[in-house]
Structure formats: C-alpha cells, structure tokens
Amino acid sequence: MGLATLQELFGGPARLVRTVSVVGVLLAVLGAAGPLLFVLYTLVPWAPSTSASPLVMPWSDPRHMQALANSLWVAGGLTLVLTGGSAAIALLFKHLALTGSPFIYALSAIPLLIPDFAFGVAARMVLDPSVGLLGQALPSTLLIDRPSALLAVIMVAALKWLPVMTVVADASLASIPAGQQAQILLDFRSFGRAVRLAYLPYMRGELLLVASLSFLIGFRQHELAMELTAGGAGFVAELWSPWNHRQIFEFARLDQAALEALFVLPLVLGIVLMIKSKAQEMLRDDD
Amino acid sequence: MINQARAVIALRRVLVVIGLAGALVACGEGDRNTLSVALFQAPSSDALIELIPEFEEETGVKVEYDVLPYADLKTKVEQQFYARSGTYDVVMADCIWIPSFAERGYLQEVDETAWLPGEYDFEDLLPALDDYLGHYPKGGTRYGMPFMSNTHMMTYRPTMIQAVVDKLGLDLPGETPESTWTWDQYLQVAQAVQEDLSAAGVDAYGSSLQARAGAWLIYEWYSVLFGFVTDDEARATGLPAFDAPAAAAMAYYAQLYDDAAPKGALTWGHEEETAAMCSGRTAMDATSNVELAANLLAEECQTAGPLAFAYPPIGASGKASPDMGGYGLLLSADSDMPDQASAFVLWAASKDVHARVVAGGGSPVRKSEVRNPDVLEQFPYLAMYEQLIEDSIYRARVAFWPELQDVLSRELTAVMKGDKAAAAATAEVRAWLESRAAN
C-alpha cells in the first residue's frame, strides 16, 4: 500500500495545509535551535571580559573546571546508580512475578510530578546535620565537603528518577515473547543463571538507554543540588549548570557563559552519543 | 470529503485563534497606564502592597506587581535587562546589584519632582542609606529610593553568657559604641561559653554565623574585616587592599567558626543564623541582621531565656563596622513611563507611606521612623539604628562586586576549613584583582 499524498487527503486545501505544516516545522526548528543561536549571538561581536583567547578561556578558570568535574561526577554516579538499580529492581520484579504491573507503572510517575527544588528542600530537611531529621546521626560535614555533598546529590536525584528508569528496564523484560519466556524457564533451573545468561543480555539495549538518559539527567542537575547543598562550603560542590547560571545572572558575563556552554555541550553530547552507539552495536550483535 | 471539510475548518479556527491572540497582545502593549513592579519577598513589600490602592486612587495609574524570592528576582530582572523588554518599570534591587545595573545602563534617573514637588522630605532620609540604595556612584545620580534597610547589631542571651562574662571580669555588652565589646572580647566570651557548653554535654554553641558561600558569608565577614582594616579610604570605598589586616580578619573569622560555631553554619544564611538564636542553639551573634530582628521578639524566642540586643563589636579602627545592606526601588531604563515610575518610587519611600510600611513590619529608611516613640516601643533595638547606619561600612560599590564576592567566598571558606593559610588566601584575592585590572 502506497502513502497517500496531501492532495489525496485534503483535495483543494492541500496547498494551505502544506504551507501551515512547513511554517510549523520551521518554527519548531527555530525553537529548538534558539538556545544555540543565542549562544552564538552573544559571541558576535566578540567582546570578552578578559583578553584571554576564547579557545583557552573556558578551560583556564579553575572555578569552571571544578564545576564541570563535579557535574561529570554526578552524571557518572547517577548513571551507575540508576542503571544498576533499575536493572536490579526489574529483575527482582521478574523474580516476584510483578513484571509489567500497571500499578507499579502508575506509582513510578509520582516522583516525576514533584519539582526538583521540592526534592532538594525535603532532602535537606532530612539530611542537614544542623536541622535535619537524621542530622544527629550523620557527619556534620555531609552537605559541606565535596565528596559527601556530591554523593548526597546523586542519591537524592536517584530517588526521583529510579522508579521511572525501573519501568524502562522492567518493560524490556515484559516484552520478552511468551514462547521465549517459557524456553528460558525450561533452559535455566536457577533464576541466577537465567539472569546472567538470558535476562541481562535481553535487557542490554534498554539499560544502555537508561544509562544515556541517566547521564544527561545527572549532568543537568541544578535546583535539587542547590537546595540540598547550596554548592557545598565555598562552592566546592557546585555543579556546572548552577555555575553557568551564576555566570549569566550573578556576574553578568554572558560571553563567558556562552563560551563555556559552547565547549561543554559537545562534550556531554559526545559522551551520550558514545553510549548510544555502544547500545546500537550491542543490539546489532543481538540480532 | 466530510473529513477534508472538517480539517479545513479546524485549520481556519487555529488561524483565527492565533490572529486573535496576536491582536490581544498588541492591545496589551498599547495599554500603558499600568506600572509593572518587581518586588522582593519581604515584610516591607507585603506592607507596601497593602497601600498600593491609595497610590492608584490618587494618580489614576494602575500598579501590577510580582513578588519574588531573592534568586528569582535577580534572574527575572536580569532577563528583562538583557532583552531590553521593559517588562518592569520599577525593580526592587539588592544593594550589591546596583553598581552593575547602573554601569550597564539598565537604570534611569528619577525625576525628584514627580511626587510632592517642593515638599518632598529628602532631608529626613538616613543619608548613608539614601546614598547607598538610591544613588550611583557615591553621591551620584539618583536612580531610585531606599526602601528596605539592614545592618548588623549584636544579639545575645544573657542567661547563656552571664556566668562566663562574670568569670572574665567583663560587663554585658551595651547599646553604644562606648559600652560594647571589642572583637577580641567577643571571641573570648564565645570560646569560653563553648567550652562550658561542651563540658556540660549541651548541644549548643557560643556563636551564630552565616557562612553560606556567596552574599551571605561575605556580608557577614565584611563586618569583621573592617574591624581590622584601619585605612579610612578603604572604609569609604569598601575596597581594602586585602593585605595583612584582611588576612587577620580571615584568621579571626575562621577561629570563631572553629572554636565556637556549629559546623553546619557553612551552609547557613540569614534565616538559619537568626533561627539558631531564637531556639537557643547559639548564645550570641555579633552580626545579627536588624532586618530579621523583629522575629527575635516573638514569644517562642524567649522560652530559652530572654534575648538582648547590643552595639556590634569594635575593632582596631576604634569604630564599629556593621555592614549596611538593603534594597532600593529603582527605575528601569526600559520603562516608557518614567514620570509615573518616578512618582511611584518617591511615593513608596515618602514620609507618610514608609512610616506605615515600617509599622507593617518593614525596615526603616528615615530619621523620623527611628525616632518615632511608637516604633521604638514596638522594636526597641531601633534606638541604636541611626548610629548603626552612620557607623556602617558597605561592600565595594563596583560593578564586578558579585565576582569578587565569589572569589572571597572561596578563599575565606578554604581558610575556615583549614585548607589554606589566611595570608595565602588574601594573596589569591589580590592576584585575582590584579589580573582583572590587567585585563
């Protein structure tokens, strides 16, 4: 069966439909490209706040490099926690015959309805050694020192995102055809062996999707981290997004912020694309 | 064919809706009898909002306002300025934002005759506040009016410190520069109180602080800094050399934190610092915010023993150095209603209106307010206010202040955490300033 043309679908007004569609697509592309165009716009004409080369500047400010390193740590940590955690919970559901439960799927959406800043504030009410409910039991420098503050951000962000990532992992197990599922049960008496030799290989594609999404989610952490740690003592645990925001809105250095974004976005995209290409490669192997 | 007709009708409806929306936006742009004001979320703003209908009735100008928390206010106002959109005609701006706004051309001059011409009482404004929150540079163009003020005083709980004070042979700090303590005496008492509390196994501390990196930490530390800096010119500009006296001030603050303050104070701001005094978790606060002191008068803050207020400590300069802060109501350069906007800011800071703002929980900006017996009965600590403002120092009125504040925060925190010597930290600050000047 061939595809219907606009003329066949709409008759006379097809021309109007085509025009509206083209305008709509153009607007959508402009909307998506807007931030990038704005970044480029702020660089033309180049009016740097320092005389350093624009190619060197983003890497020469230790504050920027620290914030970038912090965000990469959070992104990496969150990737590990969400990928490992979602796989483990999905497999547990499989073991308990809960795979594909609509009730669990519905529950998993709840944390996503809560704004990031609310998660951050609530977590601080629990974890802050000064005022938190668990404060007395926790190290007094939990939200102050760099490693523990970053770890706290990773764990609290994981609380928000783990349920939905589990749904993705669980969906991969739910999509195993019934015949194949029966074969797995016949082939492997122990659940552990089935996990290692059948389920995990089956989940690889979705888990790599979870990993790439988790990396992006980790890197873009902003409000949750600010509310929870306030950047740690002396901004040692400040993340890249709040730093870039402060460059624009606190220091009024739009050129610097634009340059940093121009250098960092390809870096992050490169990492995500690397994960994605690895996923595609593994899926091809599976085929 | 029926489906085709429905699709066409639906498309036409969408186009009509888009057209109507555009027409409405265009109509909105033409309706310029409405002032738009961005306000900081604070008791002063709440009190002003109650009075706005009076301005509307008197002038026929409608006032729309957004009340925003600190970070959102800065972000929204900056967005407007970047876009030159003129969304807000009047913005309530923190003192440390004013130099940057003015130098980037985002503000316009207030027409001082736009409200009560010839009768407006400018002389009644506390001069230092008027200059700091309404003008730029010092003594320069009037871009707005002072609306909400702040500085430091000392707060303490006598029941928690009396025994130590007696043991050290001191008197409790008084309400004048002559009768208050020195910074050394404050540290001595804080350390001794801490030792006693720790020995008794009480989870409380000798001193409250607000050491959250950024505006909070540096607002507080600047008060200590000018206890050590004796150079009058630096005191006048707010920009010292960051040499040995600054290093001594960093070392002092680090010792106070290390010996007598809660470790969590490194993430504390105004509210946490004040709450710790209210609850009795801390015995003293040398840099208590006058802006929040009304909260300390509440019944619940007296349950651990009554609180008392005193003049802030005196440093090597022989003068106290509370750090002045506050907010001005400023005119946006993008406003196309400068006359009405000028009238609004003058009205909001006028004698009659602002007195009612203070009565409603706002902070004073006029002499008549801090001399008013009714106000003093309600807020007794304001008896010190005129002198406090006169003695106050301020953070440097330079456009690059926010970034200098960031550098200072990092260096001072490193000293407080024992990661860096104070002399090395001030050397880093000097190097940053030099590299900035060179570029």
Global confidence as pTM: 0.85
Name chain B contacts of A257, Cβ cutoff 8 Å.
none
Domain final residue, candidates B344, B364, B386: B386
Q: How far is CA A211 from CA A204, A220, A275, in A?
A: 10, 14, 7
In this complex, do A234 and B413 lie within 8 Å of one another by their Cβ atoms?
yes
Which residue among B4, B265, B400 places its CB closest to the CB of A10?
Answer: B4
| Three-state DSSP state, B219 | helix
The reply to whether A64 and A24 lie within a common domain is no
Q: Contact, A52 vs A60, CB < 8 A? A: yes
| Three-state DSSP state, B310 | strand
The reply to whether A80 and A156 lie within a common domain is yes
- The minimum CA-CA distance between B264 and chain A, rounded to whole Å, is 5
Q: Does B394 fall in a domain?
A: no
Closest residue of B to A48, CA-based?
A: B439
Domain final residue, candidates B361, B386, B411: B386
**Cα three-residue angle B14-B16-B19, rounded to 5 degrees:** 110
The reply to whether A36 and A178 lie within a common domain is no
Which of A217, A238, A229, A103 lies closest to A162, judged by CA? Answer: A217
Q: Does B295 fall in a domain?
A: yes
Residue A28: domain span = 6-42
* Count of domains forming chain A: 2
The reply to whether A14 and A86 lie within a common domain is no
In this complex, do B417 and A246 lie within 8 Å of one another by their Cβ atoms?
no
In terms of DSSP bridges, do strands B34-40 and B62-68 run parallel, antiparallel, or are they unpaired?
parallel
Contacts of A230 (CB under 8 A, 6+ apart): A143, B212, B213, B267
Q: Contact, A144 vs B282, CB < 8 A? A: no
The reply to whether B292 and B427 lie within a common domain is yes
pLDDT of amino acid B15: 42
Residue B366: domain span = 33-150+325-386
Query: Which residues partner with B282 through β-bridges?
Result: B205
The reply to whether B208 and B287 lie within a common domain is yes
Q: Does B2 fall in a domain?
A: no
pLDDT of amino acid B87: 87
The reply to whether B381 and B404 lie within a common domain is no
* Whether A52 contacts chain B with CB within 8 A: yes
The reply to whether B189 and B312 lie within a common domain is yes
> How many whole angstroms from its chain centre is CA A157?
10
Mean pLDDT, residues A196-221:
92
* Whether A133 contacts chain B with CB within 8 A: no
* Count of domains forming chain B: 2
- The structure tokens listed for B125 are 């404004």
Torsion of CA A9, A14, A16, A18, to 10 degrees: 80
The reply to whether A89 and A124 lie within a common domain is yes
Interface of B with A (CB under 8 A): 1, 4, 7-8, 11, 15, 74-75, 78, 82, 100, 104, 211-214, 262-268, 272, 399-400, 402-403, 406, 409-414, 416-417, 436, 439
The reply to whether A16 and A156 lie within a common domain is no
Contacts of A106 (CB under 8 A, 6+ apart): none
The reply to whether A35 and A75 lie within a common domain is no
Which residue among A140, A235, A249 places its CB closest to the CB of B410?
Answer: A235
In this complex, do A249 and B416 lie within 8 Å of one another by their Cβ atoms?
no
Q: Does B176 fall in a domain?
A: yes
Q: How far is CA A1 from CA A4, A9, A222, B1, in A?
A: 9, 15, 50, 21
Q: How far apart are CA A173 and CA A226, in angstroms?
A: 36
* Whether A63 contacts chain B with CB within 8 A: yes
The reply to whether A18 and A111 lie within a common domain is no
Q: What are the backbone dihedrals phi and psi of residue B9, each rounded to the nearest 5 degrees, phi first?
A: -60, -45
The reply to whether A204 and A146 lie within a common domain is yes
The reply to whether A213 and A274 lie within a common domain is yes
Reported ipTM: the value is: 0.84
Q: Does B66 fall in a domain?
A: yes
Q: Does A52 fall in a domain?
A: no
Contacts of B375 (CB under 8 A, 6+ apart): B355, B358, B359, B364, B369, B382
The residue with tokens 């008549």 is B368
> How many whole angstroms from its chain centre is CA B212?
15
Q: Does A68 fall in a domain?
A: yes
pLDDT digits (tens, 9 = 90+) for A30-80: 766 666 666 666 655 455 555 556 566 678 889 999 999 999 999 999 999
Q: Does B22 fall in a domain?
A: no
Q: Does A47 fall in a domain?
A: no
The reply to whether B334 and B434 lie within a common domain is no
Domain with residue A90: its CATH number is: 1.10.3720.10
The residue with tokens 């902070």 is B363
Q: Does B199 fall in a domain?
A: yes
pLDDT of amino acid B14: 45
Q: How far apart are CA B179 and CA A285, in angstroms?
A: 83
Please report, in tens digits, the pLDDT of each residue of chain B (439 residues total).
444 555 444 444 544 444 444 444 444 444 579 999 999 999 899 999 999 999 999 999 999 999 999 989 999 999 999 888 878 999 999 999 999 999 999 999 999 999 999 899 999 999 999 999 999 999 999 999 999 999 999 999 999 999 999 999 999 999 999 999 999 999 999 999 999 999 999 989 999 999 999 999 999 999 999 999 999 999 999 999 999 999 999 999 999 999 999 988 998 999 899 999 999 999 999 999 998 898 999 999 999 999 999 999 999 888 899 999 999 999 999 999 999 999 999 999 999 999 999 998 899 999 999 999 999 999 999 999 999 999 999 999 999 999 999 999 999 999 999 999 999 999 999 999 998 888 7
The reply to whether B69 and B201 lie within a common domain is no
Which residue among A233, A245, A249 places its CB closest to the CB of B417?
Answer: A233
Q: Does B10 fall in a domain?
A: no
Q: Does A48 fall in a domain?
A: no
In this complex, do B267 and A234 lie within 8 Å of one another by their Cβ atoms?
no
Alpha helices by DSSP H, B280-337:
293-296
Closest residue of B to A223, CA-based?
A: B71
Closest residue of B to A236, CA-based?
A: B410
In terms of DSSP bridges, do strands B152-156 and B308-310 run parallel, antiparallel, or are they unpaired?
antiparallel
Closest residue of A to B414, CA-based?
A: A234
Radius of gyration (C-alpha) of chain B in whole angstroms: 25
Q: How far apart are CA B294 and CA B38, in angstroms?
A: 24
The reply to whether B131 and B205 lie within a common domain is no
Q: Which of A11-25, A155-169, B25-39 has the highest mean pLDDT?
A: A155-169
The reply to whether A193 and A224 lie within a common domain is yes
The reply to whether A95 and A192 lie within a common domain is yes
- The minimum CA-CA distance between A64 and chain B, rounded to whole Å, is 12
The reply to whether B216 and B266 lie within a common domain is yes
Q: How far apart are CA B98 and CA B106, in angstroms?
A: 10
Percent of the residues in chain A that have a pLDDT greater than 90, as a whole number: 53
pLDDT of amino acid B26: 44
Name chain A contacts of B265, Cβ cutoff 8 Å.
130
Position B19, amino acid: G
Q: How far is CA B89 from CA A117, B37, B74, B135, in A?
A: 29, 6, 15, 17
pLDDT of amino acid B216: 95
Number of A–B residue contacts, CB under 8 Å: 97
| Three-state DSSP state, B205 | strand
- The structure tokens listed for A131 are 């005022």
The reply to whether B264 and B170 lie within a common domain is yes
Name chain B contacts of A129, Cβ cutoff 8 Å.
263-264
Q: How far is CA B156 from CA B106, B258, B293, in A?
A: 42, 19, 12
- The minimum CA-CA distance between A116 and chain B, rounded to whole Å, is 15
